[in-house]
Chain A
Amino acid sequence: MFASILTLGGIGLFAAVALGVAAKKFAVEIDPRELAVLDALPGANCGACGMPGCAGYAKAIVDGSMAPNLCTPGGSEAIEKIAQIMGVEAQSAEPQVAVVCCQGDNQKATLKYRYLGLYDCNAAQKIADGPKTCPGGCLGLGSCVRACPFDAIEITAAGLAVINRDKCTGCQKCVAQCPRSVIHMTPRLAETHVLCNSTDKGAQVRKYCQVGCIACQICKKNAPEAYQIENFLARVDYSHAAAAAAVAEKCPTKCIRDFSHGYPDGSSYGVPTPEKLRGEAV
C-alpha cells in the first residue's frame, strides 16, 4: 500500500512539475487588453464588424488594425468600454436599425403567380423575379428571419417581414440576404419612414399595391426639408426627423409610418419601446 501511494504520488508530482515548466516555457502571450475587449463585446459573433467573430475583432482592435467603433450590436456602451480599455477617445458611430421598407403583404399587394416552391426568398426570386407583382416588395418567405442572429424579425400571417426595433442590433445580416434589397439601414432615433421600395410610376404602383408610394408629392409639399422624391419614391431626410413625423399622417396611401405609433398591420410586436426608455434600460 505504501508503495502504491508512493508510485501514484510520484507520478502526480512529476506531472505537476512538467506541466508547470511547460506552462512557463511555452506560454502564449495574450495581451490582457484583448481579453478585456472581448469581454466588452456582446459575443454574438454576428460579423457586422467585418470579422468572422468577436474574438477576431478584439484581436484586431488591440493590434490596431481595426477601429474600435465597428460593433453595431454592442452600441455606444460597448464602444465606450473599448475606448477606455484602449485609452482612446470614444467616437461612437450613430446606432442604426434595419427597417423593411414595405407594407404590401399578400392582402394589400397583388401576386403575379401562385408560388408553391421552396420556402425561401432567394429561391422564389429566381422564378420570373419573384411572385409579387411589385418589383421591390417584400416576398415574405423569411430568408431574413433565418439570417437574423438576434431573433428580431417575424413574418406576419399575411406574408410580410417586420423587424423588431427593440431587438435589432444593426448587424446587417438580413440586408445581405434579401434578394430585393427591401431592408434599409436607418438611424435608430428616426421613427418615421417611407415603407415602400417600388420605383415604378404612381399609376402602376396603384395597380398592384394599396399601400405603395405613388409619388404624389404631398409629403414633400408639406415638409420640403424632410422629404425627397427620387425615382417616383419618397425618402425621409433623417436629419429632419421631427418635421417628417409631423406630416406622416397626410400620406394618402399611408405608406409613411411613424413607428412610435406601432408596427405595420399584422405584426405581433405592438409598439416599440420609446427611445428614451430604451436608453435607460440598456
Chain B
Amino acid sequence: MKSALKNLKSFAGGLHPPDGKHFSAGKAIEICPLPEELVIPLAQHIGAPAEACVEVGALVKKGSPIAKAKGFVSVPIHASTSGEVIAVEPRLHPMGKHLPAVVIKPDGKDLWDDSLTGADPQDLNAAELKNRLQAAGIVGLGGATFPTHVKLSPPADKPIDTLILNGVECEPFLTADHRLMLEETERIFDGIDILRKILGITRAVIGIEANKPDAIELLTARGAARQIEVQALEVKYPQGAEKQLIDAITGRQVPSGTLPMEVGVVVQNVGTCAAISDAIRRGHPLVERVVSVTGPALVEPKNLLVRIGTSLQFLVDQCGGLNGTAAKIIMGGPMMGQTQLSLDVPAIRGTSGVLIFRQQDLPRYEAGPCIRCGRCISVCPIHLQPTSIAACARLDMIDQAAGYHALDCIECGCCTYICPATLPLVQSIRYAKAAIMAQKRTT
C-alpha cells in the first residue's frame, strides 16, 4: 500500500485547485427514487443524435429503445423506467437550447423489458460484443460521451497493446467514480475482462489519483489475481485527460491531431466498465448512472444512482434542498462542466456531477488586461501559449491562431483558472477553434 503511493507518475504542466471532494467522498451511493416525469433528450452523445421511434401514448418498459441510432457514430436511447410516453417535443437541454426529447410518465412499477437477455461474454466474439454495446447505448461516462463501440474499433494497422482504465477523477468536487470503484469493484473488473476480450489484449492498467488511497488499496489487492495493474498518480488536474493519462502511465505521447490508438492504447472510464458489464451479462442498456450532487449550496451532498432524464431539481430535493439561493449551477466538474440556465434540465448520460454554488462561494473580479506573467503557459498540459491564441482570437487572426496549435487545446480550463487578470482564455480559444474548423469545412 505504502509503496503504491510512492513513485507517483504524472505529466508536465497542470495544477491542483482546491478539490472540494470532502463534501461527498464519504457518502455511499444511494438509489434516487422515481420522479414524476422523466425527460430523456435524444442528443446525449458525441455523434449523430438518435431518432425517436416511439409516439405519444406508447407504453414502454425500462430498457426499451425509444430512439434509434443514426449511423455508426451514434447509439440508441432507452426508456429509463416503465410507463407511458406523454410527449415527444423540444425541451430544455443541458446545452442551454430546446432540443428534441421523449417525456415519460412513470407507472411506478419500474419493470425491465422482458426481451432483454444477458449472455456469458465467453460465448460471444468481439464483433457480437461490440454490437451488443452499441445496442445498449454504451458511451464514455467520464463526461465526453463518445460511443464506446467506436473507440473499440481501431483500424487493423493500429495494433493495441494496453487498455487504460480511467479512475483518476481529477475534476474537483466529483466523487462518483471514486464511490463506484469502492462499491462496484466486481462489475468494473468484469467490464475490464470484456474489454480485454474485445481488444484481444491482456494488459490493463487502472490509473487512480493518490487522493483516493482507499480505492488504490482495494483495487490493487483484488486486481492482482486477475492481472489488472493499478497505478497511483500524482494529484494534479487534468490528470484524467486522456492524453495526459497515457503519458503518465505509459510514457507514450499521443501525436498532435491523432487518437490514443496511434500509440497502441485504448482508454475507458471505470464507470463505463461497470455499464459494459451490465450490458453484456444482464442485457441491461445504459439507463442510469452515478451522479455526485454536491457543492457548498446543498444541505446534504450525496452520490446518487440516477435514472437518465431525472430533473436536477428532483436530485437537489433528494439532497435536502439548498441552504441559500443558487447563483451558479454546473453540470459536470467545475473546470470543464457546463453552467446551466436552471434546475429544470434532465440529468443525461454525460452528467457526472451537479454542482451548486451560492453567490458568496463565487469570488468574481472584472477581467483586466493580460500582464504577460506566463502562468497560463506554465500550467498548460499541452504546452500551448493560451494568451497568444486568445489574442489572435480577439483580433480574428484565425490563421495565426491555427499556427499556435489552437486545435490541440483540450479546453481543460487550467489557463483560465490560473489567470490573475481573470481573462476568459478558454472561451477565446474555443472561439478560435470553431473559426478554424469552419474555415477548414469551407476550403
Which residues of A come within 8 Å of B, CB atoms? 112-113, 116-118, 120, 122-123, 126-129
Contact = CB atoms under 8 A, between A and B. Distances in A.
Interface of B: 95-97, 339, 341, 364, 367, 393-394, 424, 427-428, 430-431, 434
Nearest to B390: A118
Q: Could you tell me the dominant secondary structure of chain A's interface residues?
A: loop
Q: Which 5 A-B pairs have the closest CB atoms?
A: A128-B96, A117-B424, A117-B427, A123-B431, A118-B427
Which of A113, A117, A122, A129 is the most central at the interface, judged by chain B CB atoms within 10 Å of its CB? A117
Contacts of B428: 118, 123
Given A118-B394, A118-B427, 10 more contacts: A113-B339, A118-B393, A118-B431, A120-B394, A120-B431, A123-B427, A123-B428, A123-B431, A126-B430, A128-B96
A130 to B, nearest CB: 9
14 contacts: A112-B96, A112-B341, A116-B364, A116-B367, A117-B424, A117-B427, A118-B393, A118-B427, A118-B428, A120-B394, A120-B431, A126-B434, A128-B95, A128-B97
Nearest to B366: A116
Contacts of B96: 112, 127-129
Contacts of A120: 394, 431
B289 to A, nearest CB: 23
Nearest to B395: A146
Contacts of A118: 393-394, 424, 427-428, 431
B20 to A, nearest CB: 21
Which of A118, A120, A127 is the most central at the interface, judged by chain B CB atoms within 10 Å of its CB? A118
Contacts of B341: 112-113, 128
A57 B394 CA distance: 30
A122 B396 CA distance: 11
A172 B141 CA distance: 46
A122 B424 contact: no
B74 to A, nearest CB: 23
A117 B394 CA distance: 12
Contacts of A126: 430-431, 434
A128 B424 CA distance: 17
A69 B429 CA distance: 41
Nearest to B425: A118
Nearest to B94: A128
B102 to A, nearest CB: 22
A38 B274 CA distance: 71
Which of A112, A116, A128 is the most central at the interface, judged by chain B CB atoms within 10 Å of its CB? A128
A53 B434 CA distance: 27
A72 to B, nearest CB: 23
Contacts of A113: 339, 341
Nearest to B435: A122
Nearest to A130: B96
Nearest to B93: A128
A129 B98 CA distance: 10
Nearest to B96: A128
B97 A122 contact: no
B97 A129 contact: yes
Contacts of A129: 96-97
A116 B431 contact: no
A117 B426 CA distance: 10
